[in-house]
Structure 1
Amino acid sequence: MSLVLGVLGGMGPAATLDFLAKLQALTPAERDQDHIRTLVDINPQVPDRNDLLNKPGPVLAEMAGALRGAGADVLAIACNTAHAYADIITRSSGLPLIDMIGTASAAARDSGARRAGVLGTPQALKLYREYLAAQGMGLVTLAPDRQELFMSLIYAIKRGDCGPEVRGQMAALTADLAAGGAETIIAGCTEVPLVFEAGSGRLPFIDAGETLARRCVSVCLGLEPVPAL
């Protein structure tokens, strides 16, 4: 019997549904019963993780505790930025966390790249800098004005705008990272894959949500160890 996965979602809702679709698609299954039991809290009311005056930690901790009470064995967070609160989430729930940022950083290392360009929020970029450094890799980021554009695009996607202009601007930002010396691109925000897909640019593209979904499948099916608390 596979482990029960608990997913902290809703940040934003469309990105969570995208993650769940990837989780389902990546599970080797021939019948319903082969899939992973997944408990999901799609909570769009989590305070904005990008506003330092907000305090999303307690809300995320409450969600994690409720998932454990419902039967979850292991957790995943369908939001890169929310990983800044991983400690309080694991402490409050007592459950191990399959870390999205660690998983994506390992995928970047395995690609053979030495420098990864990351499309992410300022909070997520801080985490990626640490995780990539632990892999012996450098981080390439956008210039300040281009980072501001990136954030405006993320909020546009959250409003439901995934049209050609947003797609074109996101593609241009990946080109900026390539020009800055990146050898691979990490979609370090779960909204990015909603408008930019692997193969759209000239560099290898790592979808952090997809790498997380793949690892969740492996952990829940017992193909790799459960992360330590």
Structure 2
Amino acid sequence: MGEKIAVIGGLGTLSGGDLFFKLLKNKRVLKNQLDYHFIFEQQPYSQINLPLHQEEDIKSRKFYSYNICKNFEQRGITKILLPCFASHSFLDELQKEIAIPIVNIFIAIAKYVKTRFPVGTRIGIMTSDYVKQKMMLEKYFSYYELIYPAEQTKLMEAIYGKYGIKNGYLEGIPLEYINEICKELISNKCDVILPGITELSLLIEPLRRRGIPILDVNQIYADYALENSSGKIERPFKLGILGGVGPSATVDFMNKIIKNTPAKKDQDHIKMVVEQNPQIPDRTANLVNKETDPTVAMFSTCKRLEAEGADTIAIPCNTAHAFVGSIQEYLKIPIINMLTTTAEYIVKRFGKSTKVGLLATSGTVQSGVYHDVFIAAGVTVIIPDTIHQQLVMESIYGEKGVKAGQINGICGRQILAVADHLIGLGAKVIILGCTELPLLFPSEEQIYIDNRAIQLVDPTGVLAKKIVAMAKDFSNKV
């Protein structure tokens, strides 16, 4: 598969175009044109003609760059070029939020210089006030002696002035100013001139004709991007949650992930993106009464989570898992099956011989999703009779049920009555197979009925622990 390389234009209109042209005329590209797809995107940018001197300028560049990078994510781009030295000051911040590798211009130039100039070489630097003050070049060229011009004001005028390079003036005063600065640096025994402003690549030819030993940083950047693989992006695990099925259960699930994460500070917690979509048609109503199919709504929600860069999707709704099979094959990322995860947990903790009582909606029961999973695991599932199943539904959907925001009172007593019924049928473990039901037992792993201790299994709690473990494995692999 060929490379699909994108250039962020607009941070320096002419320099961005110059970089794009130098990508196109690279010999590797000309010989293998079918292997490369190039994209250049420039959007209106309010700060385009301003010199970098305020943090507000950098903030606007951050937002501008982020928006374009997010557009690139949807287009299958393999790497991004950011032709602006100052904008690389926030490269690490940007890369954490973008799934595509952004090629570092400083690394590209440092590698080029290292192979051609010995340690200790005096390098003349022409760069913006911002890059100079931030000492950005010193980080990558610590083994060289960097010399800055005395005429920094003249340099800024040549770039940003009314008749400066950014405004399209490549001859006359800007060229003469830059030529004078280069001569000053050479008189200070600099062996080579390194521009730290990408617009200066537009003056390479006339300066070289005058005998100035100046590097073409745009050409170096283009060649490096084409010759080097992107490598892995160090980024945190990101969980997508299909929420709103139901709303309280979603919040409860997120809280369980937080509680099970061994974090010492905020940044240690798992990154989550939630699509809280309570308008997804009721899953039980579809399965029992053939009402509106929720599949399309669930699928579109999953696609939005996928577009947001989620590595995997969790659905804190038992009944919704009846539709997972028809959705998964059309997604690029996996849905972690809560039911399968729960079955694995029960077999590991209680053994296959344990009889499991299921408290779930009628839709979940009738769909047979739990039965299919547990039969495959060799575990026997016991369900309530018709009368007791009606009590389960009342405790969930009734006027004083959990979905109505009630977690005390009659809904809890109804569930205990059904649990007692299941125990009488031989259940040793009770699955709280509707994500609202754990809200009735927020801190209990077992209940006592007639002095008998019965284990409760909360699928959302089991899934939360699974997600935490996945995030840890993901971090170790990255």
Q: TM-score range by the shorter chain?
A: over 0.9
1:198 shift after superposition: 2.1
- Equivalent runs, 1:120-131 vs 2, <5 Å: 120-125=360-365, 126-131=368-373
1:84 aligns with 2:322: yes
Ranges of 4+ aligned residues in structure 1 off by more than 4 Å: none
| Contact 2:447–2:455 (CA under 8 A) maintained in structure 1 | no
- Equivalent runs, 1:144-163 vs 2, <5 Å: 144-155=386-397, 156-163=401-408
| Contact 1:7–1:39 (CA under 8 A) maintained in structure 2 | yes
| Contact 1:61–1:88 (CA under 8 A) maintained in structure 2 | no
Give, in whole Å, the separation in 2 of the partners of 1:28 and 1:2. 15
1:70 aligns with 2:308: yes
Partner of residue 198, structure 1: 445
Give, in whole Å, the separation in 2 of the partners of 1:22 and 1:224. 20
Partner of residue 33, structure 1: 267
Aligned AA (1:20): M
Aligned AA (1:123): G
Give, in whole Å, the separation in 2 of the partners of 1:224 and 1:106. 24
Aligned AA (2:358): V
1:121 shift after superposition: 1.7
Partner of residue 332, structure 2: 94
What residue ranges of structure 2 are gaps of 5+ in the alignment? 1-234
1:143 shift after superposition: 0.6
CA deviations 1:52-87 (Å, max 9, x no partner) are 222101000000000011111111001010011112
1:129 shift after superposition: 0.6
Aligned AA (1:121): T
Bigger mean CA deviation after superposition, 70-79 or 110-119:
110-119
Question: Considering only CA atoms, is the larger Rg found in Structure 1 or Structure 2?
Answer: 2
1:219 aligns with 2:457: no
1:223 shift after superposition: 6.8
Give, in whole Å, the separation in 1 of the partners of 2:410 and 2:304. 40
| Contact 1:39–1:72 (CA under 8 A) maintained in structure 2 | yes
Count the aligned residue pairs. 226
Partner of residue 177, structure 1: 422
1:109 aligns with 2:109: no
> Aligned residues: percent identity?
34
Give, in whole Å, the separation in 1 of the partners of 2:252 and 2:341. 18
- Equivalent runs, 1:3-22 vs 2, <5 Å: 3-22=237-256
Aligned AA (2:423): A
| Aligned pair partner of 2:434 in 178, 189, 200 | 189
CA RMSD, Structure 1 to Structure 2 (Å): 1.8
| Contact 1:109–1:137 (CA under 8 A) maintained in structure 2 | yes
1:88 shift after superposition: 3.2
1:190 shift after superposition: 0.4
Q: Which has the higher contact order (CA 8 A, sep 6+)?
A: 1
What residue ranges of structure 1 are gaps of 5+ in the alignment? none
| Contact 1:3–1:36 (CA under 8 A) maintained in structure 2 | yes
